[in-house]
Amino acid sequence: MSQDPYILTKDSVREAPVNFFGKLKYLGPGFILSASVVGSGELISTTTLGAKAGFITLWVIIVSCIVKVAIQLEFGKQAIRTGETVMASLNRLGGPRLGRRSVNWSLWMWFFLWLFKPLQLGGIIGGVAITLNMAFPGISVLWFAVITAIVVAGLVFKGYYYFIEKMSVVMMLLFTVFTIVAVFMLQYTDFAFSSADILTGIKFQLPKATVGFAIAAFGLTGVGGDEIVAYNYWCLEKGYARFTGPFEDTEEWHMRAKGWIKVMNLDAILSMVVYTLVTAAFYLLGAAVLYTSGDVPEGFEMIEILSKMYTGAYGQWAKGFFLFGSFIVLFSTMFSALAARTRIFSDLFGQLGWIDFFNRRERRKTIAWVAWIFPVLWIIAFVWVRLPMLMVTIGGIVTFFMLLIIVYAGLHFRYRQRQYGLESSLFYDLALWVSCIVIFMVGFYGAVKLF
């Protein structure tokens, strides 16, 4: 049996590669993150913002994707420095502790905010079901939702990291090609956009009517609270912490840890480039086509209206192209999100004392159960609300508040928890503070404009 990635021993120590191509072999967590990031935020929330505001809020999307990566890196570094899971690290934050086991407030707050998250994934599973129903109208949307839930749970419940990574790579490649081709096709239609349109979108304006959608888009695009937390688990399961080994106050350990942090940095930056390009492409499609035509996705019409980005210019054959791309984009988020949630909540249950997370057999059993239970909750949410765009928007706003907890945690990791001789550079610290300040400013500005 392979070694447990959540238990550090000297037996698995491995030197980090020093050249670029050597590092490429150890990339992977960022691929899973990209598969999760590019989904509801891009296809639904991003295009909705473009449809509402036109090109003027393109800056929101770009800022959202770029500024959060520094906090993501801090969570990855925390994994390599300590070998700890996120919930274990959050449990060491300052502030009140509640419950019989004296659990930190941040874990309870995370659990409370998560109660709203099935709405977001319910919207995504509804989007997948609607897409499949458009292609095969003989089967109802509800049945497609059930079938999709069974398929995604069946893929995830075993919980093997390398299968999740390989699936994510395939889906990432497919949706990247899909969006590039879509933008290319658009430039040969009446909806073609110019460089002047793009410049309009980077003037940092935010019309009042678009504030709610902008906050949701900021929460959903780029890495959100869920993805930043999940990155810790993927770094652990890829082996970055295991290869570094348990802390030893030696030059060899410090050099090894710095080497794997450099690999992790490359992984995070390359994934950011991918999801930023894809996210911007979706926004431009929504702004160029839906804003011009006056169509805004709502309810079950969401997928049909979005398909006009292609069918209006190339005819009905392009509808199949759109449906396939929509399915891949939405399914990739659902697949990666479920895989992440199985880890996050198994870890949370362990911190709450409900299971022993570090017992490998018990952890895998919990992961398997969670993989089947969560899709059921998503279907219930979808059947109850039946408005995918609204559900995803609410999920985006909740994600933004989760991000505030993550910002606090990231700063606590950097300045209040032990660095093990791996202090950050001045440039990194500045980037981390810019990330935190921008997230708070966008939230504050959005609240002021909203009220």
CATH of the domain at 399: 1.10.4160.10
d(CA 68, CA 272): 9
433 assigned to some structural domain: no
Half-sphere exposure at residue 116, Cβ-oriented, CA atoms within 13 angstroms:
17
Is residue 231 assigned to a domain?
yes
Q: Is residue 138 part of a domain?
A: yes
Report which of 311, 442, 401 is spatially closest to residue 115, judged by C-alpha positions.
401
Give the pTM.
0.89
What does the block give as tokens for 394? Answer: 């609410």
Q: Is residue 446 part of a domain?
A: no
Determine, yes or no, domain membership for 450: no
Taking the CA atoms of 417, 419, 423 and 429 in sequence, report the sign of the dihedral they define: negative
Q: Write out pLDDT tens, residues 168-220.
A: 988 888 888 888 888 888 887 777 888 888 888 888 877 777 777 677 667 66
Angle at 237 between CA 15 and CA 400, to 5 degrees: 120
Flag whether 435 is in a domain: no
Domain count, the chain: 1
Contacts of 138 (CB under 8 A, 6+ apart): none
What is the model's pLDDT at position 1? Answer: 47
Mean pLDDT by 10 residues, the chain (451 residues): 83 92 93 81 71 83 86 94 94 86 90 83 84 88 93 90 90 85 81 86 79 68 82 95 94 95 95 88 83 66 66 72 82 90 94 93 94 93 78 73 86 90 89 84 60 51
Which of 44, 438, 49, 63 is CA-nearest to residue 207?
49
Domain that holds residue 204: 10-423
**Phi, psi (degrees; rounded to nearest 5) at 103:** -90, 140
Residues in the chain: 451
Q: Is residue 449 part of a domain?
A: no
Residue 440 in domain: no
Please enumerate in sequence order all residues whose Cβ is within 8 A of that of 56, keeping only pairs 6 or more positions apart, or say none. Answer: 200, 201, 203, 205, 207, 210
Q: Which two tokens stand for residue 178?
A: 């899909």
> How far from chain centre, in Å, is Cα 122?
16
Please give the structure tokens belonging to residue 210. 């678009």
- Whole-number Å distance between alpha carbons of 65 and 269: 11
